[in-house]
Structures are given as C-alpha cells and as structure tokens.
Amino acid sequence: MSKQKQPTILFRTSLRSTVLDVMDARPGWRETDSDTDWDINWSDIGWVRDYFDHMHLEDHQRINHFRNHYELTRKDLLVKNLKRMKKQLQRRCVAPPPLAPAPALPPPPCRRAAAPQSPGRPASARTPLLQLTPA
C-alpha cells in the first residue's frame, strides 16, 4: 500500500505571534512571502482595507477577515442588519428564522424564604444565599 503525500498548504501572515507558531507547527503547512500565491492569508484588518478591494481571490484562497466585518461584530450594527433582514423577509411573506433562543422566563413570583436560625453558628452559615419558594 502506498502512502499518499499530504498536500502542501501555503499560508501568508504578517503577524509574528501565536498565529505563526500554530501554522508553522501544522504538518504540510509552509509560509510564503508571495503576494498572490497562497492558500490562507491570516491578515490584520488594515491589509483587508488596503488590498481586498483591489485583488481577485481564487476559489482555493481564504482570508480571516472580510470587508465590512464590523457590520457583524458590533452589536448595534448586527441588530440593525437583523431587523432589516426581518423586514425584507416579511415583505416577501416568508417567516424569519429564529436567530436566537427564546429568553428564559423566571418562575412565577417568588419570595425569599426565612431560613431557620441556629444559635451556635455564624450568620453566613445559617442563612442560605437564596432559597426560593412559590408565593
């Protein structure tokens, strides 16, 4: 049985940190300095802003950021985009998909129960942090 050769993955990164250490440690991965001949480009946001609009990515090429990524990573813009998507789907008479689980509802009104008192123990040991009983 012949052992198949593992394909070489060319990566490019300007970051000299844990990212480089992890990629270098992977078998079959090799760093390249080429601006165009790479499979994975782990770049900073500045590179994406400067180069992404002016180049064409091949089908096999991947980068770790995308243009306007802040539209998803900032909560206020994410909410804006989700609301816009919901309106667009409603205009098309399509039910929007559930994007978040239903919120957890608290139990019916509860009150703090009086803890039994033991005279020989400190107050912190006598009183539970929170003991709920139905109202």
What is the H or E stretch that residue 46 is in?
A: helix 45-51
Please report, in tens digits, the pLDDT of each residue of the chain (135 residues total): 556 777 889 999 888 888 889 988 999 999 999 888 999 998 888 888 787 778 888 999 998 877 777 777 777 887 888 888 888 888 888 877 776 666 666 666 655 555 555 566 555 555 555 555 555
Q: Give the model's pLDDT for residue 30.
A: 93
Instruction: Report the SS3 class of residue 14.
Output: coil
Structure tokens at 10: 């060319």
- Cα(64)–Cα(44) distance, rounded to whole angstroms? 8
From the DSSP assignment, how many helices (H) and strands (E) are in the chain?
5, 6
Q: Give the model's pLDDT for residue 132.
A: 52
Distance spanning both ends of the chain, measured CA to CA:
73
Structure tokens at 39: 């499979």
pTM beyond 0.85, yes or no: no
Closest CA to 58 of 44, 39, 30, 42: 39
Q: Give the model's pLDDT for residue 11.
A: 92
Closest CA to 7 of 21, 22, 31, 27: 27
Structure tokens at 88: 């667009």
